[in-house]
Amino acid sequence: MYETIKYQVSENIGYVTINRPKAMNALNGQVLDELYAAFTEAAADEQVKAVILTGEGKAFVAGADIAQMNQLDAIEGRALIAKGHKVMNYMESIEKPFIAAVNGFALGGGCELAMACDIRIASEKAKFGQPEVNLGIIPGFGGTQRLPRLVGKGMAKYMIMTAEMIGAEEACRIGLVEKVVAPEELIPACEKLAQTIMSKAPIAIGIAKTTINNGYDLDMRAASALEIEAFASTFASQDKTEGMTAFLEKKEAKFQNK
């Protein structure tokens, strides 16, 4: 079904692997289309509770496909970038958690794809950067917007304006990734994280993700109002009754969708 990615489901985890190792998993129109299709499939599959996204070979995603982009005019370039935004915005709209397993180079569009995930775990070999100004362009898959939200405006400007590539430890220090592990521990660490999240109330996990994303850019008063309504909605779920009853009875909760 897919030519540029691999998708499989195991033990309630959807594994999406970008599979263009000879091109360092560079993003082109086909990859973006197939990522959107795989994410749509994962969103609709009740068996999938979390998604792990990674790359085949030495790279997570080393950037957009420059050979393709070099042939595009402004109108065609806008269409490609809009397609990338569609994919990454969709990732954020899905209530299921997305975990980026950053195995190697995450540059340009690769860094932006990782930033669209909810949590990023990096191999010690991972490298991050937004090198677009070297090519006469700017980040276009959300980098000018998600990067400052993660690392702050000053650091985002530094990374984008210098095109400097940073290692995994520095990425963790500035808040671009949440954890750094040895290469051989990357997928197991992401699976352990997914399993931990999946052991919690699934309705609450989805509502928490949505509330964080939707409230991030609001002023505190509006964000607080959003949280009040989101919190109240969890009281209408069976998971709330199960979780609180189990806590009071000192037993393990058995949530509906586990």
Known catalytic residues? 112, 132
Distance CA 91, CA 89 (A): 5
Residue with token string 């998971």? 239
Contact 85, 104 (CB under 8 A): no
Secondary structure class of 48 (helix, strand, coil) = coil
A 10 A CB-CB count for 82 gives 10
A 10 A CB-CB count for 102 gives 33
Task: Name the nearest CA neighbour of 197 among 93, 116, 90, 98.
Answer: 98
Contact 122, 149 (CB under 8 A): no
Contact 256, 202 (CB under 8 A): yes
Contact 165, 134 (CB under 8 A): no
Task: Name the nearest CA neighbour of 245 among 207, 237, 257, 203.
Answer: 237
Distance CA 77, CA 221 (A): 39
Distance CA 175, CA 97 (A): 18
